[in-house]
Amino acid sequence: MARRNTGGKHAAGLVDDVGAHVAGRTPPSAFLEVRDLRIHFPTDDGLVRSVDGLSFRLERGKTLGIVGESGSGKSVTSLGILGLHNRRNATVSGEIWLDGQELVHASPGDVRALRGRKMAMIFQDPLSAMHPFYTVGHQIVEAYRVHNDVSKRVARKHAIDMLGRVGIPKPDKRVDDYPHQFSGGMRQRAMIAMALSCDPELLIADEPTTALDVTVQAQILDLIRDLQQEFNSAVIMITHDLGVVAELSDDILVMYAGRCAEYASVDDAFHRPLHPYTWGLLGSMPRLDRERSERLMPIKGTPPSLINVPSGCAFHPRCAYGELNGGRSETERPELVEVEPGHKAACHLSLQQRREIWESEIRPKL
C-alpha cells in the first residue's frame, strides 16, 4: 500500500498510519479532484517519476484538456485515475476523489466496480484497443452486463441502441461485426459506445483522434462534445494537439516531465500563457488559419527522459529565458503558484517579466 506523501498541505499531521488517514482527509466539493498524485515506476535503470505531484479538479459538464509531449506523463495520469496501474510495479500516492469517494487508497474491488460504470475511457488506437476475436456487440454487451444485472437480450438491445446513438448506420447489423470489419472512424465510434454504455459521469479520452483522418477526427470530436452535453459528464481530453484542446476544453493543464507547468482556463492558456513551455508549444505550431510571416519558434532540445529529469525546473535546459532569473531554475524547483485567479504556473520568472516577454516577444510572432 502506498503511503501518503507527507509534504502535502492536507492535514498531513494527522496521518500516522495507513488505516487512519482516510478519516484525516477531507472530501472536496468538486466532482473530481486529484491531489498531489504521484505515480512512480521503479526500474532497473532507476525510479521513473512519470507523474510527480499533480493536482487538478473538474466539475460535471466540463472538459479538462491535458496537453504534453511524449513522456510528459499525461497517459500515465489517466490510467492512474482509472486505477489501471499494476501496484506491483507502480507506486501510486496522493488522492483521487471522484464524487466524494477516494480512489488511491480504496480497495481494488471498489475501484473496479467504478470502472466502466462511473468512469470510462476511450483510447488512441481503436483497432488494438478492441479484442480482435469478439464481435463489437459482444464487447459492448460485456461492458454493460458487468455492471448491470440484465439478460443478454436486453444488453444486446442496449448495445444496438448505443451503436445507433454514436452514429453507426444499421446498428442492428453492425453489432455482429468484428472490429476489423469496421473502418477507423467507425471503430472509434464503437469504442465510444462501449465506454458510454453505462452512462459514466467521467469520461477520459486519451488521444481519441490521433489515429484518425482529419474529417473523421472532426466527426469524433463533435460526437464527444454532443454526448457530453447530453450526459452532462466530465471529460478529460488527453492530447498533444493544441487545436483539439482549444476546440473542446474549458481548462487546460500543460504537463512537462510528469509535473504541471501551467494550469489555466482555455482563454488564459492561449491568450495569456505564463509559462515558457506553453509559449514554446504555441510557437512550434504551424497555423492553418493564417500565414505565419516568420519561421516557427521551436523549443530547443528534446523532451527529457523521466529517469534523468533535469534538476530544478525540469524545463530549464530547453528554456530560452533561464538566465533572466540568475540560474535559480537550475537548482530550485519552481512551485505551481496561482498567479492570477484560476491561473497557475510553475516558473521562477516574475509575473511582470513573463507578461512582458509574452506581449513583446512571443505573441507578435505567432
Partner 1 sequence: MGLLLIISAVTYAIFFLVPRAAGVSSDDIAGRFAGKQPDAVTLAAIKDRFGFDDPVPVQYGKFIKGIVVGDTYDTGTDKIDCPAPCMGYSFRTNQSVTEQIVDRAPITFMIALGAAVLWVIAGVSIGVLSALRRGTIIDRAAMAVALAGVSLPVFFTGLLSLAFVVHKWQLLPSVNYSDIGDNPFNLILPWICLAFLYAALYARLTRAGMLETMNEDFIRTARAKGLPERTVVFKHGLRATLTPIMTVFGLDVGLLLGGAIITEKTFSIPGLGQLALDGVYQSDLPVVLGATLTAALFIVLANLVVDILYGVVDPRVRHS
Partner 2 sequence: MNISKATAGETTVSAAARADARPIREGEPLLQVDNLGKHFPVTAGLLRRQVAAVKAVDGVSFSVHKGETLGVVGESGCGKSTTGRMIMRLLDPSFGRIVFEGRDITKMSQGRLRPLRRDLQMIFQDPYSSLNPRKTVGAIVGAPFRLQNIKTEQGVKKAVQDLLELVGLNPEHYNRYPHEFSGGQRQRIGIARTLALRPKLIVADEPVSALDVSVQAQVVNLMEDLQDELDLTYVVIAHDLSVVRHIADRVAVMYLGKIVELADRSDLYERPMHPYTNALLSAVPIPDPKDRGARTRIRLQGDVPSPLDPPPACRFHTRCWKAQEICKQVEPPLIELSPGHQAACHFPENTTVSATDEVSRAAVAPGAAPAPGEPPSGPAGTPPPGV
Q: Which residues bind partner 2 (CB under 8 A)?
A: 69-70, 164-169, 183-186, 213-219, 221-223, 225-227, 240-247, 266-267, 270-271, 280-289, 291-292, 295-300, 302-303, 318
Q: Which of 237, 261, 241, 239 is nearest to 251 (CA)?
A: 237
In sequence order, the 6+-apart residues with CB closer than 8 A to the CB of 99 are 31, 32, 118, 201
Q: Using CB distances below 5 to 8 A depending on partner kind, what does residue 310 bind out of partner 1, partner 2, none?
A: none
# chain residues binding partner 1, by CB under 8 A = 29
Query: Which residue's CB is nearer to partner 1, number 38 or number 115?
Result: 115
Choose the one of partner 2, partner 1, none that binds residue 241, judging by a C-beta under 5 to 8 angstroms depending on kind.
Answer: partner 2
d(CA 148, CA 108): 19
CB–CB of 193/165 below 8 Å?
yes
Binds partner 1 by CB under 8 A, chosen from 6, 26, 29, 128 = 128
Query: Using the rule CB under 8 A, is 2 a contact of partner 1?
Result: no
Is 79 a residue that touches partner 1 (CB under 8 A)?
yes
Name the amino acid, one letter, at 19. G
Binding flags for partner 1, 311-330, as an x/- string (CB under 8 A):
--------------------
CA distance linking residue 298 with residue 157, whole number of Å? 51
Closer to partner 1 by Cβ: residue 120 or 319: 120
Nearer to partner 2, 198 or 299 (CB): 299
Looking at the DSSP bridge assignments, the partners of residue 86 are none
Cell numbers found for residue 193: 459506445
Give, as one character, the DSSP assignment of residue 222. Answer: H
DSSP assignment of 327-363: THHHHSPPP-EEEETTEEE--SS-HHHHHHHIIIIIG
- Of residues 172 through 231, those in contact with partner 1 by CB under 8 A are 178, 180-181, 191, 194-195
CB of 2 to partner 2, least distance (A): 30
User: Whose CA is closest to 61, among 290, 272, 226, 234?
Assistant: 234
Candidates 64, 96, 136, 143: give the one binding partner 1 (CB under 8 A): 143
**366 touches partner 1 (CB under 8 A):** no
- Compare residues 135 and 325 and give the one whose CB is closer to partner 1: 135
Which residue number, 48 or 221, has a Cβ lying nearer to partner 2?
221
Q: In the bound complex, what is the minimum distance in angstroms from residue 319's beta carbon to partner 1? A: 35
Say which residue the cell 484525516 belongs to.
Answer: 24
* CA dihedral over 155, 161, 166, 169, signed as positive or negative: positive
Q: How far is the CB of 109 from partner 2 (least distance, A)?
A: 35
Closest CA relative to residue 1, chosen from 80, 104, 109, 153: 104
Looking up cell 470530436 gives 221
- To the nearest whole angstrom, how small is the minimum distance from the Cβ of residue 65 to partner 1? 20
Name residues whose C-beta falls within 8 Å of residue 4's C-beta, 6 or more positions apart in sequence: 12, 15, 21, 93, 94, 95
106 binds partner 1 (CB under 8 A): no
Q: Which does 128 bind (CB under 5 to 8 A by kind): partner 2, partner 1, none?
A: partner 1
Phi-psi region of 284 (alpha: psi -120 to 50; beta: other; left: phi over 0): alpha
Residue nearer to partner 1 on the CB measure, 181 or 232: 181
Triad 325, 330, 331: Cα angle to 5°:
105
Comparison of 32 and 166: residue with beta carbon closer to partner 2: 166
23 burial (CB, 10 Å; 0-12 / 13-18 / 19+) is: exposed
- Binder to partner 1 among 2, 12, 106, 146 (CB under 8 A)? 146
Residue number, 164 or 310, with CB nearest to partner 2: 164
Q: C-beta of 82: minimal distance to partner 1 in Å?
A: 6
312, amino acid identity: G
Grid cell locating 288: 492553418
Least separation in angstroms between CB 158 and partner 1: 14
Binding site for partner 1 (CB under 8 A): 79, 82, 84, 112-117, 120-121, 123, 125, 128-133, 142-143, 146-147, 178, 180-181, 191, 194-195
